[in-house]
Amino acid sequence: MKLLTTGFSIALLSSIAVVALAAESDPIVQVTGGQMKGSSIPGGGATFKGVPFAQPPVGDLRWREPAPVKSWTGVRDAQDFGPPCTQQASRNQKSQASQEDCLTLNVWTAEWPSKSPKPVMVWLYGGGNTAGLTSVEYLDGTSLSRRGIVVVTVNYRVGLLGFFAHPGLTAESPHHSSGNYGLMDQVAALKWVHENIAKLGGDPGRVTLFGQSAGGIDTAYLATSPSLKGLIHRSIQESGSPIHPIGTLAQVEQLGVKFAESQKAPADAAEAVKFLRARPAAELQKIAASTVGLESLMMWPLIDGTLIPKYPALTYQEGKELPIPMITGSNAHEEARNYDIEAMKRVIKANFGSLAPKAEEFYGLANGGTGKEDPLYGTTLAQIPTDTKHRCGAVFESFWRSSHGRTTYQYQFDVPIAGEPFTKHTAEIPFVFGNLLPPGMPMGGPYTDADRKVSNDIQTYWANFARTGNPNGNGLPEWPKANPKSRPYLEFTIHDGPVVREAQRRELCEMYIEGLKETIPGNTAGSR
- Tens of pLDDT, residue by residue over 424-463, are 999 999 999 999 999 889 889 899 999 999 999 999 999 9
β pairing state of 326-331 and 234-238: parallel
Pairwise CA distance, residues 518 & 514, whole Å: 7
**C-alpha to C-alpha distance for 199 and 78, rounded to whole angstroms:** 15
Phi, psi (degrees; rounded to nearest 5) at 30: -95, 125
Alpha-helical segments (H) within 234-365? 249-262, 269-277, 281-290, 312-317, 341-352, 356-362
Would strands 247-248 and 302-303 be described as parallel, antiparallel, or unpaired?
Answer: parallel
DSSP state of 99: B
Whole-number pLDDT of residue 95: 60
Spatial separation of the C-alpha atoms in residues 215 and 528, rounded to whole Å: 19
Fold for 37-324, please state it. Rossmann fold (3.40.50)
Using CA atoms, how far apart are residues 489 and 447, in angstroms rounded to an integer?
25
Burial of residue 497 (number of CB atoms within 10 Å: 0-12, 13-18, 19+): middle
Q: How far is residue 119's CA from residue 122's CA, in Å, rounded to a whole number?
A: 10
Domain boundaries, the chain: 37-324
Q: Are 265 and 276 in contact (CB under 8 A)?
A: yes
Find the angle CA(113)-CA(118)-CA(120) to the nearest 5 degrees: 115
Q: Is 387 exposed, middle or buried (0-12, 13-18, 19+ CB in 10 A)?
A: buried
Cis status of the peptide bond prior to 488, with omega within 30 of 0:
no
CB 373 within 8 A of CB 366: no
Bridge partners of 236, per DSSP, are 210, 327
Question: Judging by DSSP bridges, how do beta strands 488-493 and 408-414 pair with one another?
Answer: parallel
Read off the amino acid at residue 165: A
pLDDT tens for the chain, residues 1 to 528: 333 344 434 333 333 333 333 445 899 999 999 999 999 999 899 999 999 999 999 999 999 999 999 999 999 999 999 999 998 765 555 666 889 999 999 999 999 999 999 999 999 999 999 999 999 999 999 999 999 999 999 999 999 999 999 999 999 999 999 999 999 999 999 999 999 999 999 999 999 999 999 999 999 999 999 999 999 999 999 999 999 889 999 999 999 999 999 999 999 999 999 999 999 998 998 888 877 555 667 889 999 999 999 999 999 999 999 999 999 999 999 988 888 899 999 999 988 989 999 999 999 999 899 999 998 899 999 999 999 999 999 999 999 999 999 999 999 999 988 778 889 999 999 999 999 999 889 889 899 999 999 999 999 999 999 999 999 999 999 999 999 999 999 999 988 889 999 999 999 999 999 888 776 654 343 333
Q: What is the DSSP letter of 67?
A: P
**CA pair distance 25, 227, nearest whole angstrom:** 39
Q: How far apart are CA 153 and CA 441, in angstroms?
A: 20
| The Cα angle at residue 231 between residues 457 and 236, in degrees rounded to 5 | 25
* CA 104/CA 94 separation, integer angstroms: 16
- The span from the CA of 84 to the CA of 86, in Å, is 6
> What span, in angstroms and rounded, lies between the C-alpha atoms of 282 and 99?
7
